Structure 1
Amino acid sequence: MTMISREARCGVVALALLTTTLTACGGGGEASPWSTKTATTGSLDQLVTAAKAEGTLTVFTPIVQSEVEEWTAAFGKKYGIKVAIQRQSSSTLGTTFSTQVRAHKVEADVFQTSNRGQVQEFVDNGWFANYTPQTAAQYPADTTIPGHAYPLYETIGNIAWNTKTVPPEVQAKLEADPYEGMLDPALKGKIVLIDPGHGGSGMAYYANLVANHADKYGWPYLEKLAAQEPAINTSISTMAQQVSAGTYSVTIFGDDAVFGPLAAGGAPLRFSSISPMNSSLFYQEIPSDAPHPATARLFSEWSQSLEGQQAMSVATGGRSTMKGWQENRPFVAKLPWYRVPDEIWLDWQTDPRFAGDQLKSFVEKWNTTFHVAS
């Protein structure tokens, strides 16, 4: 299995002259000099000039809107380009994008998601341009889809709880062993879970339990968790708000990039994990029919550069996997109790047990276990 080191690797990456090639991936129509449908090469200065002439970037993303706005503001300020954000859940965003592709009305200049399977499907369909940012080699090779998708950031799983609504003795259990702690009778009816049927990082939590902790936290454990009468949700943002407000006391979906900034900002939250613990990567791609292809390419260069990654981790709370990035997430400095697990598991994204028909069977079994209609 792939375990990503908890230590940031050292190195320096500079964005100098850009020489990139984009290969045809789509249909006809008059092409821009920087179109994703034609093979072109040019310098960074030429790309900046073309992007400024386009003047607009539209980002499709499942990431919290305010975080993406803060992050992309640095890009907009540097190049004088207006950035528009369309934020939806990963599954909804994929449906919106695929509908637009088929109707030849693509609005996205860049597409972001944590659903690697969906990315691969869209690559196979020819919906993403063949593009390699200059810093591609600075990312772990097994976390990319070469020529198409590169990591934006990593989030690490946790169990999160409200420190005001969870009794101190139960909090102690959650600190020591969060999954076992969730079975405490005091939490019955007060847990909110993510529906794995929507894919993406929510699926990772259950995959980790079944694949890496089957003896203790496999399907028999999930049956016990179902007996706790949890609520089921599909929105990460909604669950974070519900636990912060005390509507529910505990959630299985406690990604550090989501709950860390909330806790650092004063929300009554704490979170803990086991090892190995699932992590998720958010990816970024350029649609073959991006309406502003030069701007999309410039944003990819900037966002995958060390400058862009540093701005990203401050704004989103995500952890960069790029060589040379050093821990700078504000919430980490404000939460001295926060710990990154010794082992981080990312292989669920490519594990055949959680893809295709096997994934469908897995979700059906989960639905049966938690009494959720398919």
Structure 2
Amino acid sequence: MRTNPTRSAAVLALTVLAAGTALAGCSSSGSATTAGTGGTAAPASSAPSAPAAVADLVSKSHSEQGLMIYGNSPTAVIQPLLDAFTKAYPWIKPAYSQLSDNQVYSKYTSEHAQGARSADLLISDSIPQVLQGEQNGLFANVTPQGLSQFPSYTSQGDGVYVMSPDPVLVAWNSKLIPDAKAPTSYAALDKAVKTDPSHYPLVSYSPNNPLGYEAVYGLNHILGANTTNGYLNTFGPHTKTLDEGLDGMNYLVQGGASVGWLSSGLVQGVAPQYKGLIKYGYMTDATPLTPRLITQTSGAASPASAQLFLDFVYSNPGQQVMCAAGMEASMNGFKPATGCTADLTDLAKHVPASATYLVPVSQDVVNQQTTITNNWNKALGH
């Protein structure tokens, strides 16, 4: 259970619309927060164990029955990671259920309470759900191999890990917005919308989506709430909000909007299939990172298999697959083997460290939600 609401408020040294076929989807004022490139790790309520020996996990996993994972990540995005893991451990057959953030936890909690076979691993963007899960003892405080090769914020304490720190991107319909006029900052988009609103119908996540809310929380920390609220007031009257990434992508592709000003980092993996119709880029004045979180459940029926999967996520082979799929690779000094760009090393080439911020697993994220959501809904005219 976390007691310091501002811990792990990390600014990273690295680099709109929710995206993908099959994609599912604070300070009150002031200047940008700055910190070291690695951020700060969250202190756990109890000390984590040392990483389990791989040989021991392999031996135990042979007597386990499969691996169950509940997650909000689109199946099409995570499937390559599951396939690569099975190739490394052929006797482990992962079963993945794509669910909403709320369903990830409610389904596991209900099944576990009834003694039914349930998830060994949970993947979600919802920080409030993770905090509640900690309070309810849902997570095993295990330690993956390889964490020393990742930023310190990767461990958020109590067995909660940042699977991928996905950047919030901007996306646009290239038939409606020439690449040369695509916004590269929120300040530039603000000016463009005010100058020529008819050319800038917008789309974004709704305030009800965890990623959408966390993105605006991050903007508050980088730009200050006053500046962020000013942008919300500019964008709001011209924005169509959608809860699901697939709906948002389709809306952009069909010409309902020319620019998406809040986009999941997963767009990096799926945009190529649109043959150049959809382009994406980085907002150089503010790039929040929304954490895709992974935890091993305390009631895991296949704990050894689950730990092997965590080890794989935090290995170079796992990071290579994640990068290619659009999940942000975060290994220190990562070098992509396939030319993929969904990694923090590439992000650092485009966005200054002072303009990046990892949204932490913090009670403050919950505490600010009503205020931020009310401001956003007011800007939208709701």
TM-score by structure 1 length?
Answer: 0.77
Alpha-carbon distance change, 103 to 366 in structure 1, aligned in 2, over 3 angstroms: farther
From 209, 219, 222, the equivalent of 2:219 is 209
Name the CA shift for 1:216/1:92 in 2 (closer, same or farther; >3 Å): same
RMSD between superposed Cα atoms in Å: 3.3
Matched, 1:77 2:87: yes
* Residue 165 of structure 2: aligned partner: 154
CA contact (8 A) 1:243 1:250 kept: yes
Hey, what's the Cα distance between the residues in 2 that align with 1:143 and 1:298? Answer: 17
> What is the rounded CA distance, in whole Å, between the counterparts of 1:265 and 1:44 in structure 2?
41
Shift of 1:324: 4.6
2:135 pairs with one of 87, 100, 124: 124
Does the CA contact (< 8 Å) of 1:110 and 1:285 recur in 2? yes
Q: State the match for 1:36 in structure 2.
A: none
Find the residue that maps to 2:144 and give its secondary structure. Answer: coil
Q: What whole-Å deviation, never above 9, does each CA across 1:259-296 have from its counterpart, x for those lacking one?
A: 45313762412223132311122121111112222211
Unaligned 5+ residue runs, structure 2? Answer: 1-8, 16-36, 38-45
* 1:370 has 2:365 as partner: no
Partner residue in 2 for 1:295: 305
Q: Is the 8 A contact 1:159 1:179 kept in 2?
A: no
Cα distance, 1:313–1:164 mapped onto 2, change above 3 Å: same
Question: Who is 1:320 aligned against?
Answer: 329
**Map of 1:27 onto structure 2:** none
Q: How far is the alpha carbon of 1:328 from its aligned partner?
A: 4.4
Matched positions, count: 335
Larger Rg: 1
| Structure 2 CA distance for partners of 1:346 and 1:117, relative to 1, 3 Å | farther
Matches within 5 A, 1:260-299: 260-263=269-272, 266-272=275-281, 273-299=283-309
Secondary structure of residue in 1 paired with 2:96: strand
2:330 counterpart letter in structure 1: T
CA distance in 2, matches of 1:87, 1:275: 33
In structure 1, the residue matched to 2:318 is 308
**CA positional deviation for 1:247:** 3.9
Residues in 2 aligned to 1:180 and 1:353: alpha-carbon distance in whole angstroms: 31
Residues 93 and 179 (structure 1), Cα distance of their counterparts in 2 relative to 1, 3 Å cut = farther
Following the alignment from structure 1 to structure 2, what is the Cα–Cα distance between the partners of residues 180 and 95? 43
Residues 241 and 122 of structure 1: is their aligned pair in 2 closer, same or farther, counting only changes over 3 Å? same
What's 1:239 paired with?
248
Cα distance in 2, alignment partners of residues 171 and 102 from structure 1? 55
CA distance 1:59–1:353, change in 2 (3 Å): closer
The amino acid that maps onto 1:186 is S
In the TM superposition, what are the counterparts of 1:31-42 in structure 2 within 5 Å? Answer: none
Choose from 181, 184, 187 the match for 2:192.
Answer: 181
Give the aligned residue type for 1:6: L
Find the residue that maps to 2:63 and give its secondary structure.
helix
Change (3 A) 1:198 1:96: farther
Where do 1:58-137 residues align within 5 Å? Answer: 58-80=68-90, 81-105=92-116, 107-137=118-148
2:317 and 2:57 map into 1 onto residues whose CA distance is 18
Q: Distance in 2 between matches of 1:89 and 1:206?
A: 20
Unaligned stretches of 5+ residues in structure 1 = 10-22, 24-38
Change (3 A) 1:294 1:76: same
For 1:159-202, what per-residue CA distance to the aligned partner results, in whole angstroms no more than 9, with x for missing partners?
21111133x4x9615246234334532246x3222122332x32
Bigger RCO (CA 8 Å, 6+ sep)? 2
Say which SS state the counterpart of residue 281 (structure 1) adopts.
strand
Distance 1:5 1:161, change over 3 A: same
Instruction: Report the CA distance shift for 1:97/1:139 in structure 2 as closer, same or farther (over 3 A).
Output: same
Partner of 1:249: 258
Normalised TM-score (structure 2): 0.76
Q: What is the correspondence of 1:337-356 to structure 2 with a 5 Å cutoff?
A: 340-343=350-353, 344-350=355-361, 354-356=365-367
Q: What is the SS of the residue equivalent to 2:341?
A: helix
Structure 1 distance, partners of 2:275, 2:237, is 32
Identity, % of aligned positions: 20
Quick check: 303-312 or 100-109, which moved more? Answer: 100-109
**Which one of 6, 11, 33 corresponds to residue 3 of structure 1?**
11
**Residues 291 and 359 in structure 2, CA contact (< 8 A), matched pair in contact too:** no
Q: Which residue of 2 aligns with 1:197?
A: 208
Tell me how far apart the structure 2 counterparts of residues 350 and 126 of structure 1 sit (CA, whole Å).
Answer: 16
Distance 1:43 1:274, change over 3 A: closer
Q: Is the 8 A contact 1:195 1:234 kept in 2?
A: yes
What is the distance in 1 between the residues matched to 2:51 and 2:222?
46
Residue 130 of structure 1: SS of its match in structure 2? coil
Moved over 6 A (4+): 39-42
How far, CA to CA, are the matches of 1:128 and 1:97 in structure 2?
11
Name the residue aligned to 2:24. none
Distance 2:268 2:52 in 1: 42
Correspondence for 1:165 among 176, 196, 200? 176
